[in-house]
Amino acid sequence: MKVAVLGAGAIGAYVGAALHRAGADVHLIARGPHLAAMRHHGVRVLSPRGDFTAHTHATDNPADIGPVDYVFLGLKATSYAACGPLIQPLLHADTAVIAAQNGIPWWYFHAHGGPHNGHRLESVDPGGTVSAVLAPQRAIGCVVYAATELEAPGVVRHLEGTRFSIGEPDRSLSPRCLAFSQAMQAGGLKCPVEPDLRNDIWLKLLGNISFNPISALARATMRQMCHHTATRTVIHTMMEETLTVAAALDCHPDITIERRLAGAEKVGDHRTSTLQDLEAGKPLELDVLLTAVIELATLTHTPVPTLTTIHALTDLLTHRAGTPMNVLVGADRTAPRAAATQG
């Protein structure tokens, strides 16, 4: 099995190191000091489950790698439309693209069935620019339930969680999913193949859609948001509206709002990825987290007044920062940053 990790930041390098340990032919694509460190010293993983080092090929030029069986996409969703020159050298006729993204993916309605089958979401695939680069039929969905961070160039600290749920858009238990799942498990990770990954997407989105934008607006940590009574009420309402939209699309995540809030509270003073990006002056990955759900609410005639209000405020925030939503490109996960289960 030949795998390229495009955007080998905290999550990507962690997955690549695990697959390398399982015997896969792994190639990491990164840049800057992180790339230099991986070239000279390999990927050093520090984990409560045991430290290890993976000496795998690392480059900033995908042409050095050539076509692969799987591309594990560690880029942020805001970079998908612009990643064509990077991903094209990695593709052959049957290459699968595993997108480890938060929020609603560009392939959501591919092979979906029902009245919305094949529908394109403008918020996540504006003008079809993402589908033109990442053909939906290549996509294998991936929901990440692991927390990692780049402690230093070439050094990944694994904080908690090892589950990477994957699934086909058409809900089949395909040979390509099963093979990738087996390789991930051989490398020490959990990688269940879900019959309908969309339920997992909504389960994780329940936290991302609420905590991420509010953390950016309030500059607040998970604990602070959960402990502030009025804010907790707003978050609860946002989650209720999100579940209503999911139900309109026949998705029913197996979790209660109170359990989701309790889980977030346990994370403590974690700063969401959106807050980290805001503080670092990076594009905010809110189109796939918030704008897309509002678009889905419109599609299904579902009222979402609180989500709409928060969206208006975050849209103003991104415009003031000079990075309006729907036009953000160029960020990836190769710079030191946290990648966590809560966002």
Q: What are the tens digits of pLDDT across the range 30-66?
A: 999 999 999 999 999 999 999 999 999 999 999 999 9
What pTM was estimated for this model as a whole? 0.90
Q: Which of 190, 204, 266, 282 is catalytic?
A: 204
Q: What's the pLDDT score for residue 280?
A: 87
**Residue 340 located in a structural domain:** no
Give me the number of domains the chain comprises. Answer: 2
Q: Where are the alpha helices (DSSP H) in the chain?
A: 10-21, 32-41, 84-87, 129-133, 175-186, 197-218, 222-227, 229-248, 257-267, 273-279, 292-299, 305-320
Distance between alpha carbon 59 and the CA centroid of its chain, in Å? 22
Residue 90 sits in the same domain as residue 110? yes
Q: What's the pLDDT score for residue 322?
A: 63
Residue 296 sits in the same domain as residue 312? yes
What sign does the CA torsion over 332, 336, 339, 343 have?
A: negative
d(CA 91, CA 73): 13
Q: What's the pLDDT score for residue 323?
A: 52
**Residue 341 located in a structural domain:** no
Q: What are the tens digits of pLDDT across the range 259-304?
A: 999 988 888 888 898 998 899 888 888 999 999 999 999 999 999 9
For residue 99, the cross-strand partners are 73, 141
Q: What's the pLDDT score for residue 283?
A: 87
Residue 229 sits in the same domain as residue 146? no
Q: What is the residue range of 166's domain?
A: 2-197
**Residue 328 located in a structural domain:** no
* 282 a catalytic residue: no
Low-confidence ranges of the chain (pLDDT < 50): 324-338, 340-342
Which has the closest alpha carbon to 154: 265, 51, 41, 49? 41
In this structure, the strands spanning 2-6 and 338-339 are unpaired
Domain boundary among 173, 197, 221: 197
Residue length, the chain? 343
3-state secondary structure 147-170: EEEEEECCEEEEEEEEEEEEECCC
Greatest Cα pair distance, the chain, in angstroms, is: 55
Residue 116 sits in the same domain as residue 203? no
Question: For the CA atoms of 103, 106, 109, 110, what is the dihedral angle to 10 degrees?
Answer: -130
Which has the closest alpha carbon to 11: 41, 45, 38, 35? 45
CATH of the domain at 206: 1.10.1040.10
Domain boundary among 171, 197, 223: 197
3-state secondary structure 274-307: HHHHHHCCCCCCCHHHHHHHHHHHHHCCCCCHHH
Q: What's the pLDDT score for residue 318?
A: 85
